[in-house]
Homo-oligomer: A and B are copies of this chain.
């Protein structure tokens, strides 16, 4: 992306600061903004009327949100931890994108990647068992989290069990039981409830890939 584009993007931006748990967008609301995350992390999810929740993704610094065309947001988004985002009015943002090929190119590139990730998640949700889902999750997580710890094999779990469950299409109890089973098998260890060490990456990988 050219520097001139960044400057023009910057002139459109407003910075928004979010406390942990703050709601950024609600599914069905009119959608005047596009967001870019500056720091922290968000959960993006959809709800059914009875409260069942599917988290479609976790977003971290650098990620965009709300690019999809349409008058209304088709998802809700909340801050997981204290988070800052840049907010752009949709009209001027879109005008800028159309006038800037490199910017549009970057968005296409990112959106394609997100789509590929979404297809992996469909395989996970549609066809993998509980342990396979957890294994896939634990392997993918560090790759997305820019605040990942440096120690190899160390995975930070910034989200609660309920969020992991709603991301993987499971219940809290199943997530807990599967983690316990993985500990018993020596695949992982957990120094604390939000810090996890992969002891046997080979076994974790085998589970994630559904190898029997």
Which residues from chain A sit less than 8 Å from chain B, CB to CB? Answer: 46, 48-50, 52-54, 56, 67-70, 74-75, 98, 101, 104-105, 107-109, 111-116, 118-123, 125-128, 166, 168-169, 209-212
- Are the CB atoms of A109 and B69 closer together than 8 Å? yes
The minimal Cβ–Cβ distance linking A117 to chain B, given in whole angstroms, is: 9
Min CB gap A68→B, angstroms: 5
B120 touches A118 (CB 8 A): no
B210 and A50 contacting across the interface, CB-CB below 8 Å: yes
A74 CB contacts on chain B under 8 angstroms: 116, 119-120
Chain B: CB-nearest residue to A170: B126
Tell me whether B210 and A75 are in contact (CB under 8 A). no
Cβ contact within 8 Å between A53 and B127 = yes
Name which residue of chain B comes closest to A100, CB basis.
B101
Given the complex of chains A and B, what is the CA–CA distance between A90 and B70 in angstroms?
A: 30
Verify B128–A125 contact, CB threshold 8 A.
Answer: no
Expressed in whole angstroms, the Cα–Cα distance for A67 and B110 within the complex equals: 12
Residues of chain B lying within 8 A (CB to CB) of residue A98: 101, 105
Q: Is the CB of A46 within 8 A of B123?
A: yes
**Which residues of the partner chain B approach A209 to less than 8 Å between Cβ atoms?**
48-49
The reply to whether B126 and A115 contact each other, CB–CB distance below 8 Å, is no
Instruction: For A120, list chain B residues within 8 Å (CB).
Output: 46, 74
Residues of B within 8 A of A113 (CB): 68-69
Q: Is the CB of B127 within 8 A of A52?
A: yes
Nearest B residue (CB) for A50: B212
